[in-house]
Structure 1
Amino acid sequence: MIHDSRERYGALTKLLHWSIALLVFWQLLKFGDRIADGEHWVGQTLVPWHISIGSLMLLLILLRLAWAAGQRHHRPQPDPAQAMLVKAGHGALYLGLLLMPVTGVMVMLGGGYGVKPFGIEIFAKSEEIAWAKALGQLHSPIAWILTVLIVGHVGMALIHHFVKRDDTLKRML
């Protein structure tokens, strides 16, 4: 079943969730390269794909947001006592996932590098753009905030599964 229901998330929601989760994990491996000052295996193998994967993530998160908006009345509902926290947490995750590639594009444009994901030129190289460079400086802090949100998200899913023993995690598997 492709659509969400009150009991389970549908196939498209699951596909988008786990695809984005995998790509986020890939992107977060860049922290290892940063910690090792570019001398880490990640720097030589995965980082060259950082812009392309970030661009793909932007497309997927926009698709996911549109799909979620269309499915909002059909999705499993959180416990009413926690609904506000759940919605705030998911909202913060969506915002972080959206802002990461947008600020990444700003880094590239601000530095005058252009944007060429998967070899397709979206924005050509140009002079540095001061306002884009300023917005691009938010990329790294947002990455750290998003990492904390992801750890919290995974932690809550595991608490639901192992402590509360409800079907919250199973609905997305």
Structure 2
Amino acid sequence: MTGPRGHPAAPPTVWLDSPRRYGRVSRGLHWLMAALFAWQFAGALLYVTIGDAALTRLVGGSHFTLGFTLFVLVLVRGFWGLANLHRRPAHPGAPGRAVAAGHGLIYLLMVLVPSLALLRQYGSGKPFAPYGIPVMPARETKIEWMMLPADLLHYWLGFTLLIVVLGHAAMAFLHRRLWNETVLTRMT
């Protein structure tokens, strides 16, 4: 394959998304975040089912730091997705609108759940330094109104995110089984 003036054409990049499949960056972010969310959900489910135990502390002990990491990754992934939006596989018609709505809900929850936790953390007055990086200094006073939204919603929205993510995964398999569409291979 040659480009202008007979020079060899540059090979298509595997890093960027294309109409046929997602690029390496999108796929890497997707599967890294899937693994980190699985760990987060495992810790939350252990806490709900067996309470405060050694196993729960082992898995859930990274919950705050990992939640912050996921928050940063979802922002990076969102910006990357917007930058690649015109290159990504098309989702036409009513099914495409359903896909867009489902992905929109996932992104909304992936931003909202840790945002509420960060607001609560700040309101608590406790320091927060994921990976030793000081993000929030300690304060002597609490700000109750900052803690209230997360106290009310973080738990429930987190489990809502789990259900939506499980539905997302189920739809990828249903697309293959029922409609013979290879949507999962676009992300693998």
**Alignment TM class, shorter chain as reference:** over 0.9
Residue correspondence of structure 1 range 54-93 to structure 2 within 5 A: 54-93=67-106
Q: TM-score, normalised by structure 2?
A: 0.86
* Counterpart among 139, 142, 145 of residue 128 in structure 1: 142
For the 8 Å contact 1:52–1:117, the answer to whether it is kept is: yes
Q: CA RMSD in A?
A: 1.3
Instruction: Note the C-alpha offset of 1:5.
Output: 0.5
Q: Write 1 or 2 for the structure with the bigger share of helix.
A: 2
Structure 1 equivalent of residue 62 of structure 2: 49
Structure 1 equivalent of residue 11 of structure 2: none
Residue correspondence of structure 1 range 106-117 to structure 2 within 5 A: 106-117=119-130
Structure 2 equivalent of residue 141 of structure 1: 156
Partner-residue secondary structure (3-state), 1:19: helix
Structure 2 equivalent of residue 153 of structure 1: 168
For the 8 Å contact 1:109–1:132, the answer to whether it is kept is: yes
For the 8 Å contact 1:23–1:53, the answer to whether it is kept is: yes
Please list every run of 5 or more consecutive structure 1 residues that lacks an aligned counterpart in the other structure.
Answer: none
> Which aligned runs of 4 or more in structure 1 are off by greater than 3 angstroms?
none
- Deviation digits for residues 75-113 of structure 1, max 9, x if unmatched? 001242311111000000001111121111122222222
For the 8 Å contact 1:106–1:136, the answer to whether it is kept is: yes
> Which deviates more, 11-20 or 138-147?
138-147
Structure 1 equivalent of residue 187 of structure 2: 172
- Deviation digits for residues 13-37 of structure 1, max 9, x if unmatched? 0011111111111111122123212
**Cα separation, 1, equivalents of 2:179 and 2:125:** 51
Instruction: Note the C-alpha offset of 1:40.
Output: 5.5
Partner-residue secondary structure (3-state), 2:86: coil
Partner-residue secondary structure (3-state), 1:125: coil
Letter in 2 for 1:102: S
Please list every run of 5 or more consecutive structure 2 residues that lacks an aligned counterpart in the other structure.
Answer: 1-13
- Larger CA Rg, structure 1 vs 2: 2
Q: TM-score, normalised by structure 1?
A: 0.93
1:98 aligns with 2:107: no
Instruction: Note the C-alpha offset of 1:135.
Output: 2.2
**Cα separation, 1, equivalents of 2:101 and 2:142:** 36
Q: How many residues align?
A: 172
Structure 2 equivalent of residue 7 of structure 1: 20
**Cα separation, 1, equivalents of 2:113 and 2:54:** 22
Letter in 2 for 1:32: L
